[in-house]
Amino acid sequence: MKVLVAVKRVVDYNVKVRVKADKTGVELANVKMAMNPFCEIAVEEAVRLKEKGIATEIIAVSVGPQNAQEQLRTALALGADRAILVQTEVDAEPLAIAKILKGIVDQEQPGLIVLGKQAIDGDNNQTGQMLAALAGIGQGTFASVVKVEGGKAQVTREIDGGLQTVELALPAVVTTDLRLNEPRYASLPNIMKAKKKPLDVKTPADFGVDATPRVKTLKVEPPAERKAGIKVKTVEELVEKLKNEAKVI
Ligand code: AMP
């Protein structure tokens, strides 16, 4: 069974993002970029399926600028067999990405398509759901356990206040939640080997997709700054302030 994994290049989660002075977006110049953390979990899950002998080939896909090749090479170093970059300088929206992924699904016919539940830049949480709808296949979103057996996938989903387990006929889409697994680090020999693995470059037009954005960002604002705290000298002073200033007791 082939497994397709979608990986997005985003600002590294350790970076404190800064809003541009003109409020049109966040500063990306000279900022460290990395693979979206939920996509790392998606790659790890695919690699574990291959280690169990369930997956036979892992294909990593990214839609983005030329340097998204870096994140694809990371996926290859972690265990993907080959990669496809659908290159575009446009900041493609989930619908365009889902349409492109649908084109790849049609060509590659994977048994399972694994995506992150959300990309930490746009926080959209849309692409996996849209892909499943476009492909007319089932979806198990926010997965914290995935079991593949007998042409079916059992997915335990993290939902409000509990867990739900669903069974999906394959092919199906799975989106990863934080607790699905703990991704491994790429070893140096695997990073070297990854340089020789195949990486195809395509364009949205190859899949008949116009990636022009349909949504215009009007403005981006940072959260309100927290007020500085104060130090109190005594418990009595603390109680007095909580009662009369904060009015919480
Ligand atoms: P989103 O719907 O934008 O929150 O993204 C959810 C998931 O869709 C991500 O974790 C990726 O697995 C996939 N995805 C989103 N954007 C891209 C992209 N440009 N290239 C590849 N995969 C993507």
Look at residue 101 in the predicted model and tell me its pLDDT: 98
Residues lining ligand 1, Cβ inside 6 A: 6-8, 36, 38-39, 42, 61-64, 92, 94, 97, 115-116, 118-119, 122, 124-128
Identify which has the larger pLDDT, 87 or 249: 87
* Whole-number Å distance between alpha carbons of 248 and 193: 59
Find the mean pLDDT for residues 226-247: 92
Q: How does DSSP classify residue 205?
A: G
- Could you check whether the bond before residue 37 is cis, i.e. omega within 30 degrees of 0? no
Look at residue 133 in the predicted model and tell me its pLDDT: 98
**What is the three-class DSSP state of 222?**
coil
Of 54-68, 75-89, 223-237, minimum mean pLDDT range: 223-237
Residue of 5, 127, 174, 178 to test ligand 1 pocket, by largest number of atoms within 8 Å of CB: 127
* 77-127 residue pLDDT tens: 999 999 999 999 999 999 999 999 999 999 999 999 999 999 999 999 999
Q: Considering only CA atoms, which of 133, 84, 138 is closest in space to residue 111? A: 138
| Rg (the chain; Cα; Å) | 21
Bridge-based pairing of strands 162-169 and 199-202 is unpaired
Task: Return the bridge partners of 2, or none.
Answer: 57
Question: Does the pLDDT value for residue 227 go beyond 90?
Answer: no
May I ask the CATH architecture of the domain 2-244?
A: 3-Layer(aba) Sandwich (3.40)
Look at residue 241 in the predicted model and tell me its pLDDT: 93
Look at residue 225 in the predicted model and tell me its pLDDT: 86
Q: Where are the alpha helices (DSSP H) in the chain?
A: 37-51, 69-78, 94-108, 127-135, 188-194, 235-244
Find the mean pLDDT for residues 129-140: 98
Residue of 7, 66, 115 to test ligand 1 pocket, by largest number of atoms within 8 Å of CB: 115
Look at residue 146 in the predicted model and tell me its pLDDT: 98
User: Contact, 203 vs 86, CB < 8 A?
Assistant: yes
pTM (2 d.p.): 0.92
**What is the three-class DSSP state of 1?**
coil
Look at residue 226 in the predicted model and tell me its pLDDT: 86
* Whole-number Å distance between alpha carbons of 10 and 17: 11
* 174-221 residue pLDDT tens: 999 999 999 999 999 999 999 999 999 999 999 999 999 999 999 999
| Residue 50: CA count within 13 A, CB half-sphere | 18
Look at residue 86 in the predicted model and tell me its pLDDT: 98
Question: Does the pLDDT value for residue 224 go beyond 90?
Answer: no
Look at residue 198 in the predicted model and tell me its pLDDT: 98
Task: Return the bridge partners of 143, or none.
Answer: 157, 176
- What are the residue boundaries of the structural domains of the chain, listed by start? 2-244
Residue of 3, 8, 207 to test ligand 1 pocket, by largest number of atoms within 8 Å of CB: 8
C-alpha distances in Å from residue 196, one per residue of 41, 139, 157, 162: 23, 33, 37, 44
User: Contact, 62 vs 68, CB < 8 A?
Assistant: yes
Mean pLDDT, the chain, rounded, equals 96
Find the mean pLDDT for residues 11-33: 93
- 237 CA to middle of ligand 1, Å? 51
